[in-house]
Amino acid sequence: MTEKQKKQLCKILVAAIICIPAIIISMPEWAKLILYLIGYLVVGLEILKKAVKNIKNGQVFDENFLMSIATIGAFLLGEYLEGIAVMLFYQIGELFQSYAVNQSRKSISDLMDIRPDSAVVLRDSQEEVVDPEEVMVGEIIVVRPGEKVPLDGIVIEGSSTLDTAALTGESVPRTVVSGETIISGCINLTGILKIRVEKEFEESTVAKILDLVENASSQKAKVENFITRFARYYTPVVVMAAAVLAVIPPLFLPNYPFADWIYRALTFLVISCPCALVISIPLSFFGGIGAASKYGVLVKGSNYLELLSNAEFAVFDKTGTLTEGSFRVSEIVPEGMKQEDLLGIAAYAEAYSNHPISQSILEAYGRPIDKEQIHEMNEIVGRGVWANVGEIEVYAGNAKLMQDIGVVYPKEVPVGTIVHIAVDHVYAGYLLIADIIKSDAKKAIEDLKKVGVKKTVMLTGDTDAIGRKVAEKLNMDEVYTQLLPADKVARIESLLERKSQNGYLVFVGDGINDAPVLARADVGVAMGGLGCDAAIEAADVVIMTDEPSKLAGMIKIARKTVKICRQNIVFALGVKAVILVLGAFGIADMWAAVFGDVGVAVLAILNSMRTLYMKNKE
Amino acid sequence: MKKVFKVEDLDCAHCAAKLEDALNHVSGVNKATVNFLSQKITLDVEDGKLDDIVKAMVSTAKKIEPDCTILV
């Protein structure tokens, strides 16, 4: 608790202690009144002062003023106990509100606890502890186990494992070795690292992420705007209604006492404060954004949570999003020899080539190449390679190469890049080189269907055959292939026309060359944002890991957040409306009104705090 | 240009909304956002008028929400 909160708590306790004797001990009315008045002033003087001050500043419909009127009115009507109770509970509610908000603010900042406090920099071969903001590009920093990496850079000495959970939600540690880039915000787990700083603190990943999350709530959701607008009218309307209720009915219903109507009007004033709503809606979104960050997804604004919750079309880029974006040997089909032998022959034949396909074969082979064995090697442009390896003559390349050398090769081959191999002019089999589909891509599409996304679409610049094959494997609804970047935008536009009024289109790309598409979609999601500034800039939502399956989880978080907001709105407005109606008929008294104000606020806040603790169930 | 200020003791969300509204009406302010949860005010102001605007902001805040202090 802060000092201010403690003080407030003291006042509440003192006021309660003063008033209790007046309630339980029988004493003359005037003595009771004195005790109540003292209690009232202890707990409410501050409110009265504020009310006066605010009226001077031209703010009439201020909650302090409303509370003052309501409680003073109750006193004048002789309802001392209710007058003080309203003030007391109002203060308790305020105290709780400020406590709860502080608490959730704290838990969100804990969640985002990636800001490094200091950096150890090497200057004149002395270690100096400085503020990360003071470190310049090119300086060397030292990070020990257990410390946060304060700035982005390149490891120049040492190797270690890194905990990236705070950034990516990923629990498996990453390894870094010297020469690799390292991102601020990770926690160094095992070894001492020396890092050459590549970016100033303001430009570093940590600063960007923090800035993004902290400012996310400035992009307001529709519900939020609705509530702010609503609050602007709600209070004046209720106050006006109270005035009417106090004046009009007594004129027409002379049998009822005037005081009775005043009392009813006062109950109106007590529930006229819209605080419960105004506070709980942004709090819910803030919590939702916090929960998303914990899940490894950055959301740039509350509005995107709202849009995601109504995702209707999910459009994916293929390469780098659903697939790894790198070529690998995915099938080995030998003819008359073992798989390993064929791979070995291919690897030796391609050992001197720099072509990406050769590299992928060498990677698949994974053993050192004894270059003594390779006597001669030639690249045949547009065809493949020819090599003399050991005792044999090898041709490795595409179908055209096989035709050229007159070797019979199978025509029925899978879709992808095929490397045929002929040994001593005899066909020996082929390797299929393909871009591997990410291990969670299938689950990503399935989960999206499960959460009710109507259509999953793939856009790719790749050939028709490969595009269709991937889409078929993943069970996607539509696929558009051989698209140039401009075609992708056009596709998105035609999809946007086909979706329903209230559904939204989410586009997921790798953020590198699809910025226009990210911008055109209702929600642009970039993947693999860790260390990729372009992605963080261009997208509305950034999945920090390379997993497309997080989209479905994110939609769930968004839905839950929006649902909690709706619950709060319905609940708070519902209770207030009921109490207003009952109050007008004289059924609900001031105690009910206090519940309608403070109780509802407390419950709405507690409800909105649930967003913070959302667990994504697998 | 953009400038961010920290606020202390901004206690009520409704007041934050009122403050935001008022700051958006200060001349020279293109856009003001009061972030109640991170207790920050972000001002997007016309170049060269920052000093005047900061003064105007402080006095506006005094009127709307006398409890809070803006750390300038």
Tokens at A114, concatenated? 């990636």
Average pLDDT score over residue span A571-597: 88
Report how far residue A408's alpha carbon sits from residue A426's, in angstroms, rounded to the nearest whole number: 8
Q: Considering only A73-87, A97-111, A540-554, which range has the smallest mean pLDDT?
A: A97-111
Tell which phi-psi region holds residue A185, choosing left (phi > 0), alpha (psi between -120 and 50) or beta.
left
Report how far residue A45's alpha carbon sits from residue A31's, in angstroms, rounded to the nearest whole number: 20
Among A178, A199, A214, residue at a domain's last position: A214
Note whether A105 contacts B33, CB cutoff 8 Å. no
In order of A168, A347, A349, A350, A599, the CA distances from A374 in angstroms are 45, 11, 8, 10, 83
Among A381, A406, A437, residue at a domain's last position: A437
What is the pLDDT at residue A532? 67
Tokens at A333, concatenated? 């089909």
What's the gap in Å between the CA of B49 and the closest CA on chain A? 23
pLDDT higher than threshold 90 for residue A479:
yes
Report how far residue A358's alpha carbon sits from residue A419's, in angstroms, rounded to the nearest whole number: 10
Q: Of all residues in chain A, what percent carry a pLDDT higher than 90?
A: 26
What's the gap in Å between the CA of B68 and the closest CA on chain A? 12
Task: Summarize pLDDT for B2-44 with one digit per residue, the tens.
Answer: 788 888 877 777 778 788 888 988 888 888 888 777 778 888 8
Highest mean pLDDT among A111-125, A496-510, B4-18: A496-510
Q: What are the helix (H) ranges across A255-296?
A: 258-270, 275-294
In order of A238, A272, B65, the CA distances from A235 in angstroms are 5, 5, 18
| Residue of B25, B38, B40 to mutate, testing the A interface (most A Cβ within 10 Å of its Cβ) | B38
CB-based contact, A287 to chain B, within 8 Å = no
What is the pLDDT at residue A61? 74
- ipTM field: 0.74
Residue A433 forms part of a structural domain: yes
Residue A54 forms part of a structural domain: no
CB-based contact, A473 to chain B, within 8 Å = no
Q: Considering only A54-63, A568-577, A579-588, which range has the smallest mean pLDDT?
A: A54-63
Sequence length of chain B is: 72
Sequence length of chain A is: 618
What's the gap in Å between the CA of A82 and the closest CA on chain B? 25
**What residues contact A519, with CB distance under 8 A and at least 6 apart?**
A538
Side chain identity at A412, as an amino acid letter? E
CB-based contact, A278 to chain B, within 8 Å = yes
What is the pLDDT at residue A618? 39
Note whether B14 contacts A215, CB cutoff 8 Å. no
Report how far residue A515's alpha carbon sits from residue B53's, in angstroms, rounded to the nearest whole number: 36
Of A97, A214, A279, the CB nearest to B38: A214
Question: How many other CB atoms sit within 10 Å of the CB of residue A17?
Answer: 11
The 10 Å CB-count burial string (b at 16+, else e) for A243-260 is: eebbeebbeeeeeeeeee
- In the block, tokens 């003791």 appear at B9
What residue of B is the nearest CA neighbor of A235?
B14
Average pLDDT score over residue span A470-483: 92
- Evaluate whether B9 touches B39 at the Cβ level (below 8 Å): no
Name the residue range of residue A204's domain: 119-214
Among residues A317, A435, A447, A546, which one is catalytic?
A317
pLDDT band at A284 (very low <50, low <70, confident <90, very high): confident
pLDDT band at A529 (very low <50, low <70, confident <90, very high): low
Count of H-run helices and E-run strands, chain A: 21, 22
CB-based contact, A214 to chain B, within 8 Å = yes
Among A394, A410, A437, residue at a domain's last position: A437
Of B13, B37, B38, the CB nearest to A275: B13
Note whether B13 contacts A278, CB cutoff 8 Å. yes
Note whether A279 contacts B12, CB cutoff 8 Å. yes
Radius of gyration of chain A (CA): 34
Note whether B11 contacts A59, CB cutoff 8 Å. no
Residues of B in contact with A215 (CB under 8 A): 33, 35, 42
Phi, psi of A477, rounded to the nearest 5 degrees: -75, -40
pLDDT higher than threshold 70 for residue B48:
yes
Q: Give the CA-trace dihedral at A529, A533, A538, A544, to 10 degrees.
A: 10
For residue A193, the domain's CATH number is 2.70.150.10
Task: Summarize pLDDT for A9-43 with one digit per residue, the tens.
Answer: 999 999 888 888 888 888 888 888 888 889 899 98
Of B39, B42, B63, the CB nearest to A57: B63
**What residues contact A39, with CB distance under 8 A and at least 6 apart?**
A14, A15, A16, A18, A19, A22, A84, A88
CA B69 to chain centre: 10
Q: Is A317 labeled as catalytic in the residue annotation?
A: yes
What is the pLDDT at residue A429? 93
Report how far residue A377's alpha carbon sits from residue A358's, in angstroms, rounded to the nearest whole number: 13
Average pLDDT score over residue span A483-506: 90
Residues of B in contact with A53 (CB under 8 A): 66
- In the block, tokens 């950096």 appear at A119
Helix (H, G, I), strand (E, B) or coil at A476: coil
For residue A389, the domain's CATH number is 3.40.1110.10
What residue of A is the nearest CA neighbor of B17?
A228
Average pLDDT score over residue span A383-398: 90
Helix (H, G, I), strand (E, B) or coil at A45: helix
Tokens at A475, concatenated? 């069970």
Would you give the DSSP letter of residue A134?
G
Note whether B14 contacts A275, CB cutoff 8 Å. yes
Residue A462 forms part of a structural domain: no
What are the extents of the domains in chain B? 2-71
- In the block, tokens 């309630």 appear at A23
pLDDT higher than threshold 80 for residue A307:
yes
* pTM as predicted: 0.79
Q: Considering only A78-87, A275-284, A554-563, which range has the smallest mean pLDDT?
A: A275-284
pLDDT higher than threshold 70 for residue A219:
yes
pLDDT higher than threshold 50 for residue A617:
no
Q: How many domains in chain A? A: 2
Give the residues across from A332 on adjacent strands: A431
**What residues contact A498, with CB distance under 8 A and at least 6 apart?**
A313
What residue of B is the nearest CA neighbor of A103?
B37
Q: Please provide the average confidence, as pLDDT, over all residues in chain A.
A: 86
In order of A27, A177, A191, A294, A518, the CA distances from A155 in angstroms are 80, 7, 12, 26, 32
pLDDT higher than threshold 50 for residue A147:
yes
What is the pLDDT at residue A599? 86
| Residue of B11, B14, B59 to mutate, testing the A interface (most A Cβ within 10 Å of its Cβ) | B14
Q: What is the CATH number of domain B2-71?
A: 3.30.70.100
A318 class by beta-carbon count within 10 Å (0-12 exposed, 13-18 middle, 19+ buried): buried
pLDDT band at A313 (very low <50, low <70, confident <90, very high): very high
Greater confidence, A511 or A569? A569
Using DSSP bridges, classify how beta strands A384-389 and A523-527 pair: parallel, antiparallel or unpaired.
unpaired
Task: Summarize pLDDT for A245-274 with one digit per residue, the tens.
Answer: 888 887 887 777 778 888 888 888 888 877
What is the pLDDT at residue A109? 67
Residues of A in contact with B35 (CB under 8 A): 214-215, 217-218
Residue A526 forms part of a structural domain: no
- Evaluate whether A525 touches A553 at the Cβ level (below 8 Å): no
Residue A234 forms part of a structural domain: no
What is the pLDDT at residue A421? 93
SS (H, E, C) A493-511: HHHHHHCCCCCEEEEEECC
What is the pLDDT at residue A455? 94
Note whether B38 contacts A105, CB cutoff 8 Å. yes
Report how far residue A382's alpha carbon sits from residue A379's, in angstroms, rounded to the nearest whole number: 9
What's the gap in Å between the CA of B51 and the closest CA on chain A? 23
What is the pLDDT at residue A116? 84
Task: Summarize pLDDT for A152-205 with one digit per residue, the tens.
Answer: 999 999 999 988 887 777 777 888 888 888 888 888 998 899 999 998 888 888
What is the pLDDT at residue A457? 95
Report how far residue A138's alpha carbon sits from residue A135's, in angstroms, rounded to the nearest whole number: 9
Note whether B36 contacts A57, CB cutoff 8 Å. no
What residue of B is the nearest CA neighbor of A210?
B38
